[in-house]
Amino acid sequence: MNEKKQKEFDRKMDKLEKKCDYSGMIELIQSLPDEDLNDDIISSLGRAYNNDQQFDEAYETLMSVRESQKEKANWHYRLGYALYYLRRFDESLECFENALKIFVVNEDCEEWIDMCKMEIEKLKMRKEKRLNYTPNEKPFEGFDFTDFWNDCSYSQKNYIEEYPTDEMITKAETELGYKLPQSYIKLCRMHNGGLVNKDCCPSDESTSWSEDHVGITGIMGIGFNKSNSICGKIGSRFMIDEWGYPDIGVAICDCPSAGHDMIFLDYSLCGPQGEPSVVHIDQEDEYKITWLAIDFEEFVRMLFSEDEEDEDNE
């Protein structure tokens, strides 16, 4: 690329970046002829993928120019950013530490290093809990479901399915690629999805909802007919394939944000056939994952209503 073309390219990139048009930046770089591409521009493509929340593409792109870029701080920073949102925190930490060695002083790098260490510690604690975990043999025994569900007409139209048969459960598990937890199946055999009056779940850290809880709208049932079932029109696969949620498990509850945050069964630590934990994923915050409960039953038992919280505060 000659000097004139480089200046024109840089001008267009700056204009797109000021507009936060990261998909436009990606298209611009991809439109360049091969002879005008260089490893610095490809590294910038990785950065644009990061800003467009396409972290797999960012990782692959940045790794393709590793040999020429590995002495550059920005390359390590960009790779660390992609790895962080791919939840590969050990590798991300190493990248940010390498970037800091080259930068020498960089507050952003230092902050990312602290965040990586915090996530690594959280995962360590969750793994320890998982090692000592034994699922309840009689889910929801003694639990009072009085006033738990909101069986309004909207819930009946969009959420509540017929009670699931063994065949329906097997079909759903095959489509989703995950074994559903017995406590969730037990709940669906009592009431197969629906809006809930108990619409808040405590959290150990602040979220987009509150300093100490998240809000939910309803629990998705096992089925294929209602739009808000796990295999429905706007069910689990839709949220992963169309909304970009990480493929770590099954979307199990929607939230009042109309898709911008969700509750998931998280199989990251247990595998597709294991007993998943429950997490909150915030699409508006780079798909930040906040751990809520060790399993689905604990999640349901922790739910409370906004009215209960208001009464406690009074």
* pLDDT tens, residue by residue, 197-208: 999 999 888 788
Q: What is the DSSP letter of 284?
A: G
Cα-Cα-Cα-Cα dihedral sign, residues 127, 129, 133, 135: negative
pLDDT of residue 309: 54
Cα three-residue angle 86-92-98, rounded to 5 degrees: 155
| Amino acid identity, position 217 | T
Cβ atoms within 10 Å of 234's Cβ, excluding its own: 19
pLDDT of residue 208: 80
Place of tokens 């209960």: 308
Cβ atoms within 10 Å of 71's Cβ, excluding its own: 10
pLDDT of residue 4: 87
pLDDT of residue 314: 42
H-helix or E-strand containing 98? Answer: helix 89-103
d(CA 258, CA 206): 20
User: What DSSP string runs through 134-189?
Assistant: ---SSTTTT---TTTEE--HHHHHHTPPPPPPHHHHHHHHHHHTSPPPHHHHHHHH
Sorted by where each starts, the structural domains of the chain and their CATH numbers stand as 3-123 (1.25.40.10), 149-313 (3.40.1580.10)
DSSP E strands, 168-267: 194-196, 200-202, 213-215, 218-219, 249-254, 261-266
Q: Beta partners for 195?
A: 150, 218
Across the range 71-81, mean pLDDT stands at 96
Strand 200-202 relative to strand 213-215, pairing: antiparallel
Q: How far is CA 201 from the centre of its chain?
A: 17
- List pLDDT tens digits, range 250-266: 999 999 999 999 999 99
d(CA 126, CA 122): 6
Q: Provide CB contacts within 8 A for 234, sequence distance 6+.
A: 227, 228, 259
- List pLDDT tens digits, range 165-174: 999 999 999 9
Place of tokens 């479901």: 145
pLDDT of residue 13: 93
Q: How far is CA 205 from the centre of its chain?
A: 16
pLDDT of residue 298: 94
Flag the least confident range among 50-54, 74-78, 104-108, 150-154. 104-108
